[in-house]
Amino acid sequence: MGRYIIRRVLWILVLMVLITFITYLMFYLLPSTDPARLRLGRNPGPDPEARLAVIRHQLGLDKSWYAQYWIYLKNLVLHFDFGHSYTYDSDVKPLLFDRIPRTLFLVIGAALLWLAVGVTIGTISAVKRGSAVDRIAMGGALVFISAPVYWLGLVGLYLFASDIGVFHVFPGVGTYETHHGFFGKIPTLILPWMVLAAAFTAVYARLMRGNMIEVLSEDYIRTARAKGLKERRVIVRHAARSAMTPVVTIFGIDVGVLMGGAILTETVFNIPGVGRLSYDAIQRNDLPIIQGTVLFLALGVCLMSLVVDILYAFLDPRVRY
């Protein structure tokens, strides 16, 4: 197991370098706005070309792309420096690290919610297959899978926000920044958690239901029942544990992707996280911030994949490295 983990960690480092290189190539080869002109502004004053040349030199844009990439990679490896933002006139690392806790808080809360609710609904639907409960649960799952996140967020605000909602249940838009402390911010994230988790809960419920139906027909489940074990123990300790393996696979990937990709939810509820920072950087062609957020997203996906591979050995005794 130890050698496997070391190999995966080394592969993650190689993948990070490859991702930064591809991102650089995309922004240099594709047509884009000159960052120096964005910094210069709409009122450049006298001799704009001279000022433009000075700004390019300050930002290092007068060097070749491979020289700029080498400087960026060297600073990243040696000093953990993500570069300097063109538009914020600040280092990327404090900007990124300031937003990461908000995105983690949003994603982890939504992930725990969709995993718990999705697995529970899927298990109940499989056990009561063909019943009214099963039909209602799977019909509701189909509705939530089809609902876009931004539309569901707006509907949730219209119905349940304390400022503009019909029923004043949850805090409204922008309240995340006005509340302080861990427990103070939890009420402001309940509605974003539910909106972000809705579609994933539906997917996990359908997946868990299909896996459970297949597992419940296995010989070892019939053997466990023949031994006189309680039905609840058979379902929870034997069937659900085996059916969880594919669920854990997509759970790790989904959490990793959403760490840097919860852009729509953060935008609708005005939560200044990594996703919102990435969106603003793309609009302003701020390459260092884009590079940092992409690297954060890729690292989240790779780390969650590694955690999933390790969990396999504990969930399924047949898996060995």
> Domain containing 183: what range?
93-315
Instruction: Give the C-alpha separation, 246 to 243, whole Å.
Output: 7
Same domain, 304 and 288: yes
Same domain, 103 and 70: no
pLDDT for 137 beyond 70: yes
Same domain, 214 and 253: yes
Give the pLDDT of residue 241: 79
Number of structural domains the chain divides into: 2
Domain membership of residue 131 (yes or no) is yes
Question: What mean pLDDT do residues 78-102 have?
Answer: 84
Same domain, 81 and 98: no
Same domain, 97 and 72: no
CB atoms within 10 A of CB 248: 18
Which of 66, 92, 118 lies at the terminal end of a domain, its last residue? 92
Q: What is the DSSP string of 241-303?
A: HHHHHHHHHHHHHHHHHHHHH-HHHHHHTT--SHHHHHHHHHHHT-HHHHHHHHHHHHHHHHH
Which of 69, 92, 115 lies at the terminal end of a domain, its last residue? 92
∠ Cα 309 310 314 (to 5°)? 115
Average pLDDT along the chain: 80
Same domain, 87 and 104: no
pLDDT for 243 beyond 70: yes
> Model confidence over 2-25: pLDDT tens digits?
777 788 788 888 888 888 888 777
266 and 103 Cβ atoms separated by less than 8 Å = yes
Domain membership of residue 320 (yes or no) is no
pLDDT for 29 beyond 80: no
> Model confidence over 53-85: pLDDT tens digits?
887 887 777 888 788 888 878 888 788 888 788
Domain membership of residue 19 (yes or no) is yes
Instruction: Give the C-alpha separation, 262 to 200, whole Å.
Output: 13
